[in-house]
């Protein structure tokens, strides 16, 4: 046994399994029994699903997820990774069972008679399972959570084998006649929601959660919430293909939550400029809209523009727009910086909201600290507001502008279309006054 193996938290993993295993079967069975006691539980099924084949042998990959469930706790290298995995599994159970209780659905196809070993596996399954607990498929929710965990520990041919087998598990929920199609995409979203709640490389979205006091953030939160509600209403009213609108509904709901409570951390943008995989899946409809919006509003604007010295201002660059800049300071929260390189700085700020004085101060320090390494691009989604405020803060911080009006005038000379409203001016003024106060409070004999 190696030292690394000896440090693995086997005992804690066993305790988690002892807790999660019974919880899984008890809560799953309870939701089934509640649905079975109701009258006229509906089904959501598309006509093309009636051509779905029944493959008895896929009961093997279907059952195998139970094995992966238990092993996933014991592959964790340390306590933190273990607790993250366990909390994801617990969240999967809570999310799925809550949905089963709130809007139960019924599987409407008749499963063919099956004999042999496969038939025995079906008999065991039907011993505790009933044709309820449909959307989101708990099998698919767990599939996402387990796939993420094992993919982190495997490489090469083993990782490819994992992908193939887990793809079979995903298909098996249909070919064993356990689920209708609607259960799969809803399961995928629920699975990524559990991963998003308990990230490993990004900050947990709830860690610094607090109700905002900014009226502008509340206004935007309500707008996004209304749009989410409209998408959800349209999805239910249209049915069929219209149900895909539930994806943008969830995406916009999370954006509203970011503005009201979570802040930039909700987008899970990491120091390497990338969004977490969970955030990419959950926010995909919103991200597509944000990217198209950024390109539309900047289609006729020169990208980027030189401001002063080595500092440039522009939108988040694509890979073909990065050349010529030694460093990039990215202050957008929602768009990934795909052209990120070592030495770049990521300081996520919410769109359409004035940054705080502290955010502006930090951005100014970042810009000044990177000078001397070459040309610097300061960017956000459009290059009109957040990044402009950051450059204005640097102009004031470095003494290149004596007043907020002077800093904005320098920026407007470079890019007349910048959008810095009264709230941005107030934040810049607060930053300037805080810096002046700090300088006056430096004790004698110390250098500020």
CATH of the domain at 362: 3.90.190.10
Are residue 149 and residue 227 in the same domain, yes or no? Answer: no
For residue 103, being part of any structural domain is answered with yes
Confidence of residue 3 (pLDDT cuts 50, 70, 90): very low
For residue 209, being part of any structural domain is answered with no
What is d(CA 100, CA 32) in angstroms, rounded to the nearest whole number?
8
pLDDT on residue 444: 53
**Whether residue 380 lies in the annotated active site:** yes
Are residue 62 and residue 182 in the same domain, yes or no? Answer: yes
Question: pLDDT per residue over 6-35, tens digit each?
Answer: 578 999 999 999 999 999 999 999 999 999
Are residue 262 and residue 380 in the same domain, yes or no? Answer: no
What is d(CA 142, CA 131) in angstroms, rounded to the nearest whole number?
19
Are residue 126 and residue 241 in the same domain, yes or no? Answer: no
Question: Domain end: 294, 325, 347, which one?
Answer: 294
Q: How would you label 288-304 residue by residue, b for 16+ Cβ within 10 Å and e otherwise? A: eebbeebeeebeebebb
pLDDT on residue 303: 86
What is d(CA 293, CA 8) in angstroms, rounded to the nearest whole number?
47
What is d(CA 183, CA 193) in angstroms, rounded to the nearest whole number?
15
Are residue 192 and residue 114 in the same domain, yes or no? Answer: yes
pLDDT on residue 436: 77
Query: Is there a contact between 306 and 294 (Cβ–Cβ < 8 Å)?
Result: no
Query: In this model, does residue 81 exceed pLDDT 90?
Result: yes
Query: Is there a contact between 427 and 355 (Cβ–Cβ < 8 Å)?
Result: yes
Are residue 183 and residue 272 in the same domain, yes or no? Answer: no
Nearest to 435, CA basis, from 391, 389, 399: 399
| Residue 168: Cβ-neighbour burial (10 angstroms; 0-12, 13-18, 19+) | middle
Measured CA angle at 331 (ends 356, 425), to 5 deg: 35
Question: Domain end: 162, 197, 232, which one?
Answer: 197
For residue 149, being part of any structural domain is answered with yes
Query: In this model, does residue 80 exceed pLDDT 50?
Result: yes
Q: What is the mean pLDDT of residues 109-131?
A: 88
Higher pLDDT, 324 or 7: 324
Are residue 68 and residue 186 in the same domain, yes or no? Answer: yes
Give residues with Cβ within 8 angstroms of 54, minimum separation 6: 111, 112, 175, 176, 177
pLDDT on residue 322: 86
Name the DSSP class of 57. G
What is d(CA 367, CA 391) in angstroms, rounded to the nearest whole number?
8
Q: Which alpha helices (H) appear in 135-214, and where do they start and end? A: 138-153, 156-175, 183-197
Confidence of residue 337 (pLDDT cuts 50, 70, 90): very high
For residue 448, being part of any structural domain is answered with no
Query: Is there a contact between 105 and 132 (Cβ–Cβ < 8 Å)?
Result: yes
For residue 205, being part of any structural domain is answered with no
Are residue 238 and residue 326 in the same domain, yes or no? Answer: no
Confidence of residue 1 (pLDDT cuts 50, 70, 90): very low
Confidence of residue 205 (pLDDT cuts 50, 70, 90): confident
Rounded to the nearest integer, the mean pLDDT of the chain is 92
For residue 124, being part of any structural domain is answered with yes
Query: Is there a contact between 350 and 259 (Cβ–Cβ < 8 Å)?
Result: yes
What is d(CA 218, CA 256) in angstroms, rounded to the nearest whole number?
9
Question: Domain end: 294, 311, 341, which one?
Answer: 294
Are residue 283 and residue 137 in the same domain, yes or no? Answer: no
pLDDT on residue 319: 79
Segment holding 378, helix H or strand E: strand 376-380
Segment holding 228, helix H or strand E: helix 215-238
Are residue 242 and residue 386 in the same domain, yes or no? Answer: no
Are residue 280 and residue 332 in the same domain, yes or no? Answer: no
Query: Is there a contact between 387 and 333 (Cβ–Cβ < 8 Å)?
Result: no
Pick the catalytic residue from 76, 99, 379, 380. 380
pLDDT on residue 445: 53
For residue 208, being part of any structural domain is answered with no
What is d(CA 271, CA 297) in angstroms, rounded to the nearest whole number?
27
Confidence of residue 42 (pLDDT cuts 50, 70, 90): very high
Query: In this model, does residue 192 exceed pLDDT 90?
Result: yes
Query: In this model, does residue 232 exceed pLDDT 50?
Result: yes
For residue 389, being part of any structural domain is answered with yes
Query: In this model, does residue 126 exceed pLDDT 90?
Result: no
Question: pLDDT per residue over 290-303, tens digit each?
Answer: 999 999 999 888 88
pLDDT on residue 300: 87
Summary count for the chain: helices (H), strands (E):
16, 5
Confidence of residue 152 (pLDDT cuts 50, 70, 90): very high
Question: pLDDT per residue over 159-191, tens digit each?
Answer: 999 999 999 999 999 999 999 999 999 999 999
Query: Is there a contact between 200 and 276 (Cβ–Cβ < 8 Å)?
Result: no
Q: What radius of gyration, in Å, describes the C-alpha atoms of the chain?
A: 26
| 376-380 sheet: strands from edge to edge | 305-308, 311-315, 376-380, 327-332, 345-349
What's the predicted TM-score (pTM) here?
Answer: 0.91
Q: What would the two tokens of residue 195 be?
A: 């991963």
Are residue 248 and residue 193 in the same domain, yes or no? Answer: no
What is d(CA 283, CA 351) in angstroms, rounded to the nearest whole number?
15
Domain total of the chain: 3
Confidence of residue 54 (pLDDT cuts 50, 70, 90): very high
Domain that holds residue 388: 303-440
Calculate the CA 79 to chain-centre distance. Answer: 23
């Amino acid at each position: 046994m190696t030292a690394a193996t000896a440090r693995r938290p086997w005992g804690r993993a066993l305790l988690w399994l002892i807790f999660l295993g019974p919880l899984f079967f008890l809560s799953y069975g309870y939701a089934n029994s509640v649905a079975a006691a109701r009258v006229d539980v509906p089904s959501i099924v598309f006509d093309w699903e009636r051509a779905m084949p029944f493959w008895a042998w896929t009961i093997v990959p279907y059952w195998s997820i139970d094995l992966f469930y238990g092993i996933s706790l014991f592959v964790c290298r340390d306590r933190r990774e273990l607790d993250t995995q366990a909390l994801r599994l617990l969240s999967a159970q809570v999310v799925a069972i809550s949905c089963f209780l709130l809007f139960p659905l019924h599987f409407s196809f008749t499963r063919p008679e099956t004999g042999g070993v496969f038939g025995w596996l079906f008999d065991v399954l039907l011993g505790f399972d009933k044709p309820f607990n449909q959307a989101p498929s708990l099998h698919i929710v767990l599939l996402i959570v387990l796939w993420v965990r094992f993919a982190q520990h495997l490489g090469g041919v083993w990782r490819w084998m994992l992908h193939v087998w887990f793809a079979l598990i995903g298909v098996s929920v249909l070919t064993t006649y356990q689920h209708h199609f609607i259960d799969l995409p809803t399961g995928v979203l629920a699975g990524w929601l559990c991963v998003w709640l308990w990230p490993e490389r990004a900050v947990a979205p709830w860690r610094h959660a607090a109700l905002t006091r900014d009226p502008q953030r509340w206004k935007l939160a309500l707008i996004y919430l209304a749009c989410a509600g409209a998408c959800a209403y349209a999805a239910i009213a249209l049915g069929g293909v219209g149900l895909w609108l539930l994806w943008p509904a969830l995406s916009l709901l999370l954006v509203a939550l970011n503005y009201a409570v979570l802040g930039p951390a909700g987008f899970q943008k990491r120091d390497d400029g990338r969004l977490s995989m969970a955030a990419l899946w959950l926010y995909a409809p919103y991200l597509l809209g944000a990217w198209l919006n950024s390109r539309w509003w900047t289609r006729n604007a020169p990208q980027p523009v030189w401001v002063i010295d080595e500092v440039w201002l522009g939108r988040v660059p694509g890979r073909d727009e990065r050349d010529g800049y030694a460093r990039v300071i990215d202050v957008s929260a929602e768009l990934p910086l795909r052209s990120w390189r070592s030495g770049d700085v990521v300081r996520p700020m919410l769109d359409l909201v004035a940054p705080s004085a502290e955010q502006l101060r930090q951005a100014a320090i970042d810009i000044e600290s990177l000078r001397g390494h070459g040309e610097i691009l300061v960017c956000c989604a459009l290059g009109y507001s957040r990044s402009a405020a950051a450059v204005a803060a640097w102009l004031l911080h470095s003494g290149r502008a004596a007043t907020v009006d002077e800093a904005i005038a320098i920026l407007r000379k470079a890019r007349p279309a910048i959008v810095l409203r009264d709230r941005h001016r107030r934040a810049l003024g607060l930053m300037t006054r805080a810096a002046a106060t700090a300088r006056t409070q430096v004790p004698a004999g110390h250098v500020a």
